[in-house]
Every structure is written in C-alpha cells, then in structure tokens.
C-alpha cells in the first residue's frame, strides 16, 4: 500500500480489499455518484486510499501549545454532544446540567462511548443492557410478578423476561430491524428505569433515536395504506 519511507503511495480504494500496512492506518477519500450528478452529466471523482503511519505522541506534545486553541474548540463540540446526549437520554426532559456532567471527564467518557458505540454491535448492546438496565429491570419484573426471587423457579421466570428485553435491545444493531408498536412501547418503558450517567445517556439517546425511526417508518407506511 505504501513505500517504507516518508512518501506514501495513493491507490484506488477497493472495498473489502484495500488495507493499511502493519502498524499504519488506512485513510479513505470516498465519493458517491448521486442522482443530481448523473442528471447533470457529471461523474464522481474516483475514491482513493493511502496507508499512513499514526501521529506520534511526541510530535503532538512538542506542538501542544499551538494545538491547545484547536483542542479547546473541538472539546466544545464534544461538550455540545454531551448535552445533547443527556437531553435525549432523559426523554427530552432536562431542567439543568451540572459542571461535572459536562466537564472534561464527561467529555472523555462521551468520546470513549462514541468510539465504542460507533460499532453498534449486538454484543456491545448486550453489554450496555447488562450494565445499565439489567439490575433495575430485574427488580421491576420481579415486583410486577409479585416475586421475592427466593426460589430457583422465580429466578428462572424473571431471567426469561429479562432475556426477552435483552434480545430486543441488542436486536437494534440490525440495519433492517423493525418492531411492533407494543414492543417499542415496552422498550421505552424499560428505559424509564435506566440509571443514567454520561456514557449510558449517549447510548440511550441512540437507542431512542432508533425507536423513533421505527415509529416514523411505521406511520409513513400506515399513511400510505390509508
């Protein structure tokens, strides 16, 4: 992909084939042909890629003073994302935020959660469910069933219900997943018992967004059928 030197060769990008050299990262510059371009008789530029070495921490540290204003500006956009996540994660009901909720530590947590959540895999959502919702839902389900969880049979019944919720939430990782209105309502009720923090707020916001998209798609379909 690249010469082992300070020059790095640029190649056409081939999905599923192009890859970085060992210890490097692949930069992809991609373009898509749009209907507007086609109508105008234009052709999209070719997509390219180049394997480059990662930025060195020593270089960053040496230029830290010059970078600080840009880092500060970038962190302000991250802080905006933190507040958005808190707002969406709390069902769009927010009276105030504290310094701790939007400070540097919260921004770092948001960045970490964003990086992990961008994978949005079934396994990631299962781990999120167990960490954020599992304990609270166990109590809620047991109370609804009138259980004290003092027998193996009661624990098995509660776990069966819990696994149902876990499966529905982790299923949101699919691109074409669609749930019935009753299932969506059940997941929204489950989120009401979520104990939120900076990370779970962000993931909860994404989950709510996915449920909102489902409901909008269902409404559009119903409107078309009327």
For the chain, what is the mean pLDDT? 86
Tokens of 111: 């960045």
The whole model's pTM is what?
0.54
Give CA–CA dist 219/96, Å, rounded: 33
Residue 48 has phi, psi (to 5 degrees) of: -130, 170
**Distance, CA of 205 to CA of 199 (rounded, Å):** 10
Q: Tell me, what's the pLDDT at 196?
A: 56
> Are 50 and 11 contacting, i.e. CB atoms less than 8 angstroms apart?
yes
131-162 core/surface letters (b: 16 or more CB in 10 A; e: else): ebbeeebbebbbeeeeeeeeeeeeeebbeebb
In tens, the pLDDT along 97-126 reads 999 889 998 888 878 777 765 567 888 888
Q: What confidence tier does 2 reach under pLDDT thresholds 50, 70, 90? A: very low
**In sequence order, what are the residues at sequence separation of 6 or more whose Cβ sits closer than 8 angstroms to the Cβ of residue 222?**
none
Tokens 């808190």 label which residue? Answer: 86
Highest average pLDDT, of 9-18, 105-114, 124-133, comes from: 9-18
Domain parsing of the chain, residue ranges:
10-54, 73-225
DSSP track, 107-128: HHHHHHHHHHHTT--HHHHHHH
Each residue's pLDDT tens digit, 138-190: 999 999 999 988 899 999 999 999 999 999 999 998 878 889 999 999 999 89
**CB 202, CB 113: distance < 8 Å:** yes
pLDDT reported for residue 3: 45
Instruction: Judge residue 203's burial from the number of C-beta atoms within 10 Å of its C-beta, 0-12 exposed, 13-18 middle, 19 or more buried.
Output: buried
Structure confidence by residue, pLDDT tens digits, 29-82: 988 888 778 888 899 899 999 999 999 999 999 999 999 999 999 999 999 988
Beta-carbon count within 10 A of 187 CB: 21
Looking at residue 150, its pLDDT comes to 87
pLDDT digits (tens, 9 = 90+) for 183-204: 999 999 898 876 555 455 667 8
> How many residues belong to the chain?
226
For residue 106, the model assigns a pLDDT of 86
Residues with Cβ within 8 Å of residue 220, at least 6 apart in sequence: none
Do 88 and 205 contact (CB within 8 A), yes or no?
yes
Q: How far apart are CA 110 and CA 117, in angstroms?
A: 10
DSSP 8-state code for residue 132? I
- Least confident range from 128-132, 171-175, 187-191, 221-225: namely 221-225
Is pLDDT above 90 for 209?
A: no
Q: What is the distance between the alpha carbons of residues 178 and 84, in angstroms, rounded to a whole number?
A: 25
Which of these, 135, 153, 123, lies nearest to 190 by C-alpha position?
135
């Amino acid at each position: 992909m690249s010469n082992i030197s300070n020059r790095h060769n640029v190649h056409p990008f081939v999905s599923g084939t192009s890859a970085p050299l060992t210890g490097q990262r692949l930069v992809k510059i991609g373009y898509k042909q749009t209907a507007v371009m086609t109508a105008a008789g234009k052709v999209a530029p070719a997509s390219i890629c180049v394997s480059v070495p990662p930025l060195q921490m020593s270089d960053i540290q040496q230029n830290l003073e010059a970078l600080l204003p840009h880092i500060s500006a970038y962190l302000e956009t991250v802080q905006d994302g933190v507040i958005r996540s808190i707002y969406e994660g709390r069902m769009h009901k927010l009276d105030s935020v504290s310094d701790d909720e939007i400070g540097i530590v919260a921004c770092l947590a948001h960045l970490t959660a964003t990086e992990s959540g961008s994978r949005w895999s079934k396994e990631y959502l299962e781990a999120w469910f167990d960490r954020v919702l599992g304990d609270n839902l166990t109590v809620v389900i047991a109370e609804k069933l009138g259980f004290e969880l003092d027998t193996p049979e009661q624990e098995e019944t509660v776990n069966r219900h819990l696994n149902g919720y876990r499966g529905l939430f982790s299923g949101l990782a699919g691109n074409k997943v669609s749930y019935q209105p009753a299932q969506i309502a059940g997941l929204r009720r489950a989120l009401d018992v979520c104990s939120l923090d900076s990370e779970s707020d962000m993931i909860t916001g994404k989950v709510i967004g996915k449920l909102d998209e489902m409901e909008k798609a269902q409404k559009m379909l119903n409107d078309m059928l009327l």
